[in-house]
Structure formats: structure tokens, C-alpha cells
């Protein structure tokens, strides 16, 4: 019952996305480097009034969130410019993700400066017109008073229904000047999860392949495609 119910959430994707981007004028882009830093892990958060809450990122080997975001960038950018070429920025991801998440500036989504030197070194060896970086964004979400969430997963306030959501964004950097071209944010929702965050955590840690993984990938795909389309590279 739990697994079959989650499949219905896919139908809510188109109606529940919240996306924005701020395009800025820039020179034509013909080649793009892609760096996706969502991590293949499901973010689980249950806020308690006093003690006993959950705030974890559970590694899921089959999540493929980064691969999904990269494919969405390529597929959706090529709709606008079929001749555009792409390179994967093959830097070690774990150190970059840790830099983004562990700084006190994470809560303000102001940690991109911490990984820019790594990206710049890559661009020196692999010239491209633009770099697209996808990373999680910490933002206020529905479901409870002053509730904040960052990542791809499920959040729950006390005993309220758990909400399936992805909060992430992209930054597009000019590979020639290293100035920002544009940035975008996405926080699509796929409805409520028919269970608790605690139950989901236990199943994921047990290595069960759950339908919610497909739902979360669809959120990543839809949000990334919308943002890259709005950017109009």
C-alpha cells in the first residue's frame, strides 16, 4: 500500500513546482561544462518540538540525482541550441559538496565562492564558454511554521503529513570572464508521502529500492529543465 500510493505523486509534479531564474546578457555560449553536486543521497528531515528530530542524508546507490540533473541540462539546452556541446566537469564531488554544506554560510546559500577556485582550475585545462553548477539550496518550505529544508527528499513537521520535495538551484558562470551569467532556484513538490520520515529512513538504510526514488528523480529532472530553459543559454 505504501509503495503503490507513492506512484500517484508523479501526477502532481507539473502543478507543484516553484521556479525562478534571472537571465543576464552575455556573449553567445557554444560549449558548456556541467558540475552537478546534489549527491546521490536522500535528504530526510523531521522537525520535533523539543528532542528526537531527524536531519539526515541517506546515501542511496541507485538515486542517480546528479546523473539525472546532468542529462536534463543537456537535453533541455539542446532544444534551444542543438549545436551546443557539453563536457562533464570531472572533479571529485565529495570534497566540493562538503565545502558547500559545512560552511556557516550554507543557510544563506552563499557557499559557491568556496568551490570557485576548483572550478577555475578545471576551466584553465578545459576551456568552455560557460559552466553550469547544480547544488542544493536551503530554503523555507511548507508543512510547518518557519520550516527550512535543503536537498532532495522528504520533510515532516512533528506529526504533520510528510512532504516530498526537492530544493536546489543552478548557477551559470561565464567560462571566459568567470562572472555569473545567471542563477535559478527550484523547489518542486510531489505531494505528501504516505508514511513517516522514520519509516522511509529505515527502508532506505535497509537497501530497499523504493518508488519514491523515481519520484525524486522526476523532481530533479523537471526542476533542472525548467531552470536551464529559463536561462536561455
Q: Count the neighbouring beta carbons within 10 Å of the beta carbon of residue 125.
A: 6
State the residue range of the domain holding 130: 2-231
Question: Per-residue pLDDT for 110 more than 70?
Answer: yes
Name the pLDDT band for 5 (thresholds 50, 70, 90): very low
**15 vs 9, 10, 173, CA distance in Å?**
11, 10, 30
Q: Helix, strand, coil: what percent of the chain each, to 5?
A: 35, 30, 30
pLDDT digits (tens, 9 = 90+) for 167-218: 999 999 999 999 999 999 999 999 999 999 999 999 999 999 999 999 999 9
Dist CA 76 CA 224 (whole Å): 9
pLDDT number for residue 6: 42
- Mean pLDDT value across residues 209-229: 97
Query: How many structural domains does the chain have?
Result: 1
Name the pLDDT band for 18 (thresholds 50, 70, 90): very low
Q: Using a pLDDT cut of 70, give the percent of the chain over it.
A: 89
Question: Per-residue pLDDT for 13 more than 90?
Answer: no
For strands 189-193 and 31-37, give the pairing.
unpaired
Q: CB under 8 Å to 202, separation ≥6 — which residues?
A: none
Question: Per-residue pLDDT for 14 more than 90?
Answer: no
Q: Using a pLDDT cut of 90, give the percent of the chain over it.
A: 79
Question: Per-residue pLDDT for 12 more than 90?
Answer: no
Dist CA 168 CA 207 (whole Å): 25
pLDDT digits (tens, 9 = 90+) for 44-94: 999 998 877 999 999 999 999 999 999 999 999 999 999 999 999 999 999
Nearest to 69 by CA among 231, 204, 226: 226
Dist CA 85 CA 50 (whole Å): 51
pLDDT number for residue 26: 66
- Spatial contact of 184 and 210, defined as CB atoms under 8 Å apart: no
Q: CB under 8 Å to 155, separation ≥6 — which residues?
A: 43, 44, 45, 46, 47, 141, 143, 147, 149, 162, 163, 165, 197
Amino acid at each position: 500500500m505504501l509503495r503503490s500510493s507513492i506512484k500517484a505523486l508523479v501526477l502532481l509534479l507539473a502543478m507543484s513546482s516553484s521556479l525562478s531564474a534571472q537571465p543576464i546578457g552575455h556573449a553567445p555560449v557554444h560549449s558548456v561544462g556541467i558540475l552537478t553536486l546534489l549527491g546521490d543521497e536522500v535528504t530526510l528531515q523531521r522537525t520535533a518540538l523539543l528532542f528526537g528530530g531527524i536531519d539526515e542524508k541517506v546515501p542511496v546507490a541507485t538515486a542517480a540525482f546528479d546523473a539525472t540533473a546532468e542529462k536534463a541540462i543537456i537535453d533541455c539546452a539542446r532544444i534551444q541550441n542543438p549545436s551546443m556541446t557539453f563536457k562533464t566537469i570531472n572533479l571529485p564531488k565529495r570534497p566540493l559538496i562538503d565545502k558547500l554544506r559545512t560552511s556557516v554560510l550554507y543557510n544563506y546559500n552563499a557557499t559557491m565562492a568556496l568551490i570557485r577556485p576548483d572550478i577555475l582550475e578545471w576551466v584553465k585545462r578545459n576551456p568552455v564558454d560557460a559552466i553550469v553548477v547544480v547544488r542544493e539550496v536551503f530554503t523555507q518550505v511548507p508543512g510547518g511554521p518557519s520550516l527550512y529544508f535543503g536537498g532532495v527528499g522528504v520533510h515532516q513537521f512533528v506529526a504533520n503529513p510528510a512532504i516530498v520535495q526537492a530544493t536546489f538551484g543552478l548557477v551559470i558562470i561565464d567560462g571566459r570572464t568567470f562572472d555569473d551569467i545567471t542563477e535559478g532556484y527550484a523547489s518542486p513538490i510531489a505531494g505528501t508521502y504516505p508514511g513517516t520520515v522514520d519509516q522511509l529512513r529505515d527502508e532506505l538504510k535497509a537497501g530497499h529500492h523504493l518508488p519514491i526514488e523515481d519520484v525524486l528523480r522526476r523532481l530533479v529532472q523537471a526542476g533542472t529543465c525548467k531552470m536551464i530553459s529559463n536561462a536561455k543559454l
